[in-house]
Amino acid sequence: MATALELSARRGPDGIPVVTAVGEIDMSNAEVFRAALVAAAEDDRLVVDLTGVGYLDSAGIHALYAVTPQVRLVASALLAPVLEISGLAAITSIRD
């Protein structure tokens, strides 16, 4: 059974595409997550809102690398250690 993940895409007030993820991102749904990120990214700009994500494994991190460095991440303190250890914090903009 696949892990629950809800994805939505919209434009932010500045016109930059925003993908919001809610749930868990793991190997059962990471390809869907990656495809949503790649489809939404345009002109090397993308915001990924991970504040509703409670779990992010290496497959999810790999999906985020598919859209770096153009991605800006919005994440809760829960994911901060994972983003730091994975190296994503060094090559993307992260805010909470």
User: For every residue of 36-80, which 3-state class applies, written as one string?
Assistant: HHHHHCECCEEEEEEEEEEEECHHHHHHHHCCCCCEEEECCCCCH
Mean pLDDT, residues 65-70: 82
Whole-prediction pTM = 0.90
Give the count of domains, the chain: 1
Q: Residue 26 carries which DSSP code?
A: S
Which pLDDT band holds residue 63 (cuts at 50, 70, 90)? very high
Q: Which residue has the higher pLDDT, 96 or 10?
A: 10
- Which residue range is the domain that position 48 belongs to? 8-95
Q: Is residue 69 part of a domain?
A: yes
In tens, the pLDDT along 10-31 reads 999 989 999 999 999 999 999 9
Q: Is residue 3 part of a domain?
A: no
Q: Is residue 32 part of a domain?
A: yes
CATH number of 78's domain: 3.30.750.24
Q: Is residue 80 part of a domain?
A: yes
pLDDT at position 90 is: 86
